[in-house]
Chain A
Amino acid sequence: MFKLAKGRASAWAITGAVLFMIVQVIASLYLPNLTADIVNKGVALGDTDYIWHAGFKMIGCAIISVVASVCNVFLAARVSQKLGQRIRADIYRKVINFSHDEMDQVGTSSLITRTTNDVTQIQNVWVMILRMMIMAPIMLIGASFLAYQKNHTLTMIFLIVIPIMMIFIGIMMVFAVPLFRKMQDKTDKINLVFREGLTGVRVIRAFRQDDFEQNRFDVANKDYTDNAVKVFSIMALAMPVMTLIMSGTNIGIDWWGGHLIAQQALETGNLIAFITYAMQILMSFMMLSMILMFIPRAQASATRINEVLDLTTTIKAPATPTPLDESHASLQFDHVDFRYHGAEEPALAGIDFNMQPGQTLAIIGGTGSGKSTLVNLIPRFYDVEKGAVKLDGTDVRELDLKVLHGAVAFVPQKANLFTGTVRDNLKYGNEDATDDELWHALEIAQAKDFIEENPEGLDYHVEQGGGNFSGGQKQRLAIARALVKDASVYVFDDSFSALDFKTDALLRQALKDDEKISNRVVVIVGQRVSTVADADTIVVLDDGKMVGRGSHAELKATNTTYQEIIKSQIREGDED
């Protein structure tokens, strides 16, 4: 946690916050001392001038204390939020540049939590550190010192009270912490059952299982309630017992203090001051134990953040990149083997083909056969283990990453749109594209109709993640976005499966008819035979191995895997 602050939080500001805190604590500790003086020297001696004098000093103290604490809060707020801002920016920059390996390793949703919740957690803890956590020990030490100064003997009372308090807090923690943890699990369970009731409502009703669901929920609900009652019953003890301990201390000090006064070993005013110090000591002790409960949680967040920041990208740009003729490049896989990070079995083996501009390559195979993995190697989302992926005859590892990404237009399986307008989204890969070009791309992608239907057209607002479009619409917009880009290779990673047969067919035909695209390399990953059938070359994958390469007719005649795929999709008698 402190490692994260290094270099990101201003040392001056932190020092300032600590100094102001010290001033604040000293000033507020001095107050009871002055009260004692009023009693000892003013009241006892009947010196009204002294009372006024001490009174003004007290007001001065109060003002110093409030000014110091406002300054401390100011610095604490700025430092902690600045720290959060910097950590967040650092993580973000890192993640945006991650290769697939690192994304897989941590997972997108976990990365999101780390950038948002975990950083917020760190920020909050730093506010606490800079305010309460440094206050508690200073207060504890200062108050103990002053109390000791007022009377040595009476200080002994803390030797009894503090251990009692520690034991009590310890017992509470032992009992309550596991129950609190359980409560989280049980909350999750309630929410899970409730959410399943929402997502599965049609199935539940169709199978007439509403009562079953109600029972399932009741069990979780009851379980949670019982646990919550247990937890809060234990917690109900906390405050009363703590108050009792503090009140007991109060009484003890009065009793022994009285005797000390009788023996002329203590002044009356000091007794009053001592009680105030005693309360401050016990309060700061409680504060400290509360903070100590927060630290482990923040530490967990810090660890998760450091994990991300310490990851290094495996895909590195070459020092002296080879230039590329972007508009007219061939795509070659030269005996490529690939293995996922830490995997035993290779995910791809012996992939070999060479596509010239103007040709279409299709890749087909079952789920998990490595189709997506294969196309992910083209823009260097992963690096090959053996062999090489070549663009225009140059190994992609020798190209500048920007140049490589500029030369490959990639449509992933999952269509992701960004908040903004349709135009913003389409121009994502080509800032200079004209509206005509955008409409042309939409036409090819079979997306013109539903954009045109809208009066706002290209200015139609896209919600976060494209939430206001259906799956098929998003997919077509993602395709159009890639088409706007002027690239050498267009990759469609299973982008057509969300489309119906007809749209799929029209789209592929439009790609073929387009002047620009028809002169580039097109790579299509597909599940349906009809999607891949008219490609120049079809690569058939099975379990990461290239088991066939050729045209539809060739493969249909000779390749058993391909025949199986056809058979699974079309029954005998369907062939025309």
Chain B
Amino acid sequence: MAESKQPQQRMGGGHGPGPRMGLVEKPKNFWGTTMRLLGYMKSRLVGIVLVLLLAIAATIFQIRTPKVLGQVTTEIFKGYMKGVAQQKAGIQMAEFPIDFDKIKGIIITVIFMYLASAVFSFLQQYIMTRISQRTVYDLRRELKYKMKTVPINYYDTHSNGDVMSRAVNDMDNIASTLQQSLTQMVTSAVTLIGTLWMMISISGKMTLIALVTIPLSLVVVGIVAPKSQKFFASQQKALGLLNNQVEENYAGQVIVKSFNREETVMQNFEVENQKFYNAAWKAQFVSGIIMPLMTFINNISYVFVAIFGGLAVSNGTVSLGDVQAFLQYTQQFSQPISQLANLANTIQSTIASAERVFEVLDEPDMTDEPSGMPAVPDDHNKLTMDHVKFGYDGSPLLMTDYNLEVKPGQMIAIVGPTGAGKTTVINMLERFYDVKGGAIRLDGVDTRDMSREDLRSHFAMVLQDTWLFTGSIWDNLKYGREDASDEQILEAAKAAHVDNFVRQLPKGYDTILNESASNISQGQRQLLTIARAFVADPEILILDEATSSVDTRTEVHIQHAMSRLLKDRTSFVVAHRLSTIRDADNIIVMNHGSIVETGNHDQLMAQNGFYADLYNSQFSGNVAI
């Protein structure tokens, strides 16, 4: 890439905007995005309805049990009071007259209710797991598919870290919300309403007493909780700054030490560390007291209910079992409130995540615009650049009228200073970007009138960036052409000096290349990419000559393999070696992203322009090499 484009190209996974703990991002279009996300579950509508019904059923059974179980206490208490009264009347008895048959009946009912609730809630979870996981599966698949249809421009303007964060963090966020929050929301709501209903059904007066504390819990949920979020946000920010320092100074530790900066660096760190501490303990504290506060409010209700319930029982207006059940309901009551408050945040951040994923899915796809120009059948060139205009969107044109004719079998060298934009040529040839005017013709046909697939089948690339995927060496070679036979692959491996070193590996061609490729050397990776191009057996080759970082022996192998590969093919070579440049039939000289001169070595030297300057500068000093 051109140097000017570099800033946008920062790599690194998981750093981009993603959901952060405690930091609730507000989605831009909440309902629109929510509906769209739910749209993905449309095909599973029956399942969802079932899940909701099961959740409601399970919760209703769960809610009713304390009241029914309370009847047991009532019965026991009734028997007890009767017994006490009888004892007072002077009747001797071995046991209080408690009606255990009735109790047995109640208990059997309760057991059934418990079992039903458990089975329903298990089924609900079991089905929801499948629905949510499959939905996210679809979403991931679609995102991956999108990566195939967006233009290269998308990759060049979005950092990998940003895209990864959407594919990883945001997707995780969506998955766990669908998995848990959806049913939790239903359960909480049903619990809240159901509990309230049960409380009212026991005693309207006691319900009022229990609800006296509601405003208090709203204060906690409405004031303390947002405050804790704010503290968490500043904690997260402080942590980010601190981690940046750690990363930066560990990576540059050599510099820190050799420039005697240890103390300064330490002082700066202490400052950030203290800032983080100040933010962190507050965040921990404020978030930590929410629970005790809610418990306290709950306890207050509990006490009120206990007092007034006790009074009511002694008045005989309410049964003891009901008071016991009521106490349980009181304890249950605040839970769904705080749960719903939490859910509101979770769901918001999930919808924000979904929004970011959809943003990618909504990126415009590659478009095909036919050139509208007739094929030129009498064009005997392999490749023709005919009055080409080219530039990147949003920046000035790099070339306004470029012409080049490449005869079959010719070698074209591309030279220029570091960052002169040699990628531009590859972008044009492989149609990663389309020309803005004029035409590029392959065998007389405008490349825009062929499918990209078709066009690219004529090319193969060997770049310095030795991208190989995590898989076996064999599969990586086969990558060049899927229908290549085993013999062809072996032949290619031999031609590219790959066979020898691969056979020395314990697992040979089945060796799995890992991501960081620590199991083979950089030079060997380069050889593999050459072999891959051999397998592809293209008509036109795009080759980036290796410059450095390989040992002498491998370097010789690479040179040798490259010249074999170049033989009898039309080629574009990003050249670093003088010999290649001199052998080239044509040299494209690039600077600042555009082509400044074209011609062969002698012509360019005679022009005494940029190329001549570049060429001569290599011999500065008086040493002949």
Contact of B418 among A111, A120, A272, A500 (CB under 8 A): A500
Question: Cβ of B288 and Cβ of A251 under 8 Å apart?
Answer: no
* A134 touches B (CB below 8 Å): no
Taking CB atoms, residues of chain A closer than 8 Å to B417 are 500, 502-503
Question: Cβ of B259 and Cβ of A485 under 8 Å apart?
Answer: yes
Given A251-B110, A505-B618, A565-B552, A85:B129 Cβ within 8 A:
no
Given contacts A192-B515, A205-B456, A206-B461, 4 further A-B contacts (CB under 8 A): A58-B303, A74-B285, A198-B160, A500-B417
A141 to chain B, nearest CB (A): 20
* B212 touches A (CB below 8 Å): no
Binding-face segment, A146-154, A173-181, A235-243, A329-337: A235-243
Contact with A along B255-282 (1 / 0, CB 8 A): 1111111100110011001101100111
Taking CB atoms, residues of chain B closer than 8 Å to A218 are 141, 144
Question: Cβ of A55 and Cβ of B303 under 8 Å apart?
Answer: yes
Question: Cβ of A51 and Cβ of B310 under 8 Å apart?
Answer: yes
Interface residues on B, range: 35 or more
Question: Cβ of A205 and Cβ of B152 under 8 Å apart?
Answer: yes
* A369 touches B (CB below 8 Å): yes
Question: Cβ of A195 and Cβ of B13 under 8 Å apart?
Answer: yes
Question: Cβ of A566 and Cβ of B114 under 8 Å apart?
Answer: no
Question: Cβ of A368 and Cβ of B551 under 8 Å apart?
Answer: yes
B469 nearest CB neighbor, chain A only: A196
Nearest 6 Cβ contacts at the A-B interface: A236-B125, A416-B252, A366-B551, A77-B284, A66-B296, A55-B307
Within 8 A of A (CB), among B548-584: 548-553, 555-556, 559, 577-579, 582
A297 to B327, CA, bound (A): 39
Binding-face segment, B73-81, B391-399, B494-502: B73-81
Binding-face segment, A35-43, A320-328, A348-356, A433-441: A35-43
Given A112-B246, A195-B160, A405-B259, A534:B621 Cβ within 8 A:
yes
Question: Cβ of A533 and Cβ of B623 under 8 Å apart?
Answer: yes
* B358 touches A (CB below 8 Å): no
B123 nearest CB neighbor, chain A only: A236
B127 nearest CB neighbor, chain A only: A236
* A499 touches B (CB below 8 Å): yes
Given A43-B310, A77-B288, A254:B73 Cβ within 8 A:
yes
Binding-face segment, B3-11, B197-205, B336-344, B346-354: B3-11
Taking CB atoms, residues of chain A closer than 8 Å to B261 are 428
* A221 touches B (CB below 8 Å): yes
Given A272-B73, A369-B551, A65:B467 Cβ within 8 A:
no
A381 to B258, CA, bound (A): 9
* A564 touches B (CB below 8 Å): yes
A62 to B297, CA, bound (A): 9
Taking CB atoms, residues of chain A closer than 8 Å to B460 are 206-207
B147 nearest CB neighbor, chain A only: A197
A206 to B572, CA, bound (A): 15
Question: Cβ of B103 and Cβ of A258 under 8 Å apart?
Answer: yes
Question: Cβ of A108 and Cβ of B418 under 8 Å apart?
Answer: no
Taking CB atoms, residues of chain A closer than 8 Å to B75 are 258
Interface of chain A: mostly helix, strand, loop or mixed = helix
Chain B CB count within 10 A is highest, among A193, A200, A261, for A261
B58 to chain A, nearest CB (A): 8
Contact of B289 among A70, A191, A258 (CB under 8 A): A70
Interface of chain B: mostly helix, strand, loop or mixed = helix
Question: Cβ of B3 and Cβ of A470 under 8 Å apart?
Answer: yes
* A339 touches B (CB below 8 Å): no
Question: Cβ of B164 and Cβ of A251 under 8 Å apart?
Answer: no
A509 to B623, CA, bound (A): 13
A123 nearest CB neighbor, chain B only: B280
| A-B interface pairs (CB < 8 A), number | 460
Given A38-B307, A70-B292, A429-B259, A255:B273 Cβ within 8 A:
no
B528 to chain A, nearest CB (A): 12
A20 to B621, CA, bound (A): 79
- What are 18 A-B residue pairs whose CB atoms fall within 8 Å in the complex? A58-B307, A70-B293, A85-B273, A98-B253, A112-B250, A206-B459, A228-B175, A240-B122, A262-B76, A367-B521, A367-B549, A379-B257, A473-B3, A502-B613, A533-B621, A568-B556, A568-B559, A576-B624
A271 to B542, CA, bound (A): 85
Taking CB atoms, residues of chain A closer than 8 Å to B481 are 207
Contact of A43 among B7, B155, B314, B522 (CB under 8 A): B314
A182 to chain B, nearest CB (A): 15
Taking CB atoms, residues of chain B closer than 8 Å to A410 are 254-255, 258
Taking CB atoms, residues of chain A closer than 8 Å to B136 are 225
Chain B CB count within 10 A is highest, among A248, A368, A533, for A533
* B208 touches A (CB below 8 Å): no
Question: Cβ of B307 and Cβ of A52 under 8 Å apart?
Answer: yes
A509 to B111, CA, bound (A): 92
* A165 touches B (CB below 8 Å): no
Taking CB atoms, residues of chain A closer than 8 Å to B273 are 85, 88-89, 92
A110 nearest CB neighbor, chain B only: B250
* B247 touches A (CB below 8 Å): yes
A44 to B87, CA, bound (A): 14
* A11 touches B (CB below 8 Å): no
Taking CB atoms, residues of chain B closer than 8 Å to A240 are 117-119, 121-122, 125
* B31 touches A (CB below 8 Å): no
Contact with B along A107-141 (1 / 0, CB 8 A): 01001100110001001000100010000000000
Taking CB atoms, residues of chain B closer than 8 Å to A346 are none
B204 to chain A, nearest CB (A): 20
* B28 touches A (CB below 8 Å): no
* B185 touches A (CB below 8 Å): no
Question: Cβ of B621 and Cβ of A509 under 8 Å apart?
Answer: yes
Question: Cβ of A225 and Cβ of B133 under 8 Å apart?
Answer: yes
B125 nearest CB neighbor, chain A only: A236
A206 to B357, CA, bound (A): 26
Question: Cβ of B265 and Cβ of A96 under 8 Å apart?
Answer: yes
* B625 touches A (CB below 8 Å): yes
Taking CB atoms, residues of chain A closer than 8 Å to B6 are 468-470
Question: Cβ of A62 and Cβ of B300 under 8 Å apart?
Answer: yes
Contact with A along B117-144 (1 / 0, CB 8 A): 1110110011001100110110011001
Taking CB atoms, residues of chain B closer than 8 Å to A301 are none
Binding-face segment, B94-102, B400-408, B435-443: B94-102
Question: Cβ of A573 and Cβ of B579 under 8 Å apart?
Answer: yes
Taking CB atoms, residues of chain A closer than 8 Å to B258 are 379, 381, 405, 408-410
Given A46-B314, A217-B144, A576:B250 Cβ within 8 A:
no
A450 to B621, CA, bound (A): 25
Contact of B155 among A92, A201, A259, A416 (CB under 8 A): A201
Given A73-B292, A574-B578, A502:B69 Cβ within 8 A:
no
Question: Cβ of B148 and Cβ of A213 under 8 Å apart?
Answer: yes
A235 to B613, CA, bound (A): 71
* B84 touches A (CB below 8 Å): yes
* A418 touches B (CB below 8 Å): yes
A406 nearest CB neighbor, chain B only: B260
Question: Cβ of A251 and Cβ of B69 under 8 Å apart?
Answer: yes
Given A201-B155, A268-B77, A505:B617 Cβ within 8 A:
yes
Question: Cβ of A84 and Cβ of B280 under 8 Å apart?
Answer: yes
A242 nearest CB neighbor, chain B only: B118
Within 8 A of B (CB), among A219-253: 221-222, 225, 228-229, 232-233, 235-237, 239-241, 243-244, 247-248, 250-251
A68 to chain B, nearest CB (A): 9
* B486 touches A (CB below 8 Å): no
Question: Cβ of B80 and Cβ of A261 under 8 Å apart?
Answer: yes
Taking CB atoms, residues of chain A closer than 8 Å to B252 are 416-418
Question: Cβ of A503 and Cβ of B418 under 8 Å apart?
Answer: yes
* B413 touches A (CB below 8 Å): no
Contact with B along A540-576 (1 / 0, CB 8 A): 0000000000001100000000001110111101111
A235 to B122, CA, bound (A): 9
Chain A CB count within 10 A is highest, among B261, B469, B523, for B469
Chain B CB count within 10 A is highest, among A93, A218, A254, for A254
A115 to B324, CA, bound (A): 52
A262 to B7, CA, bound (A): 82
* B485 touches A (CB below 8 Å): no
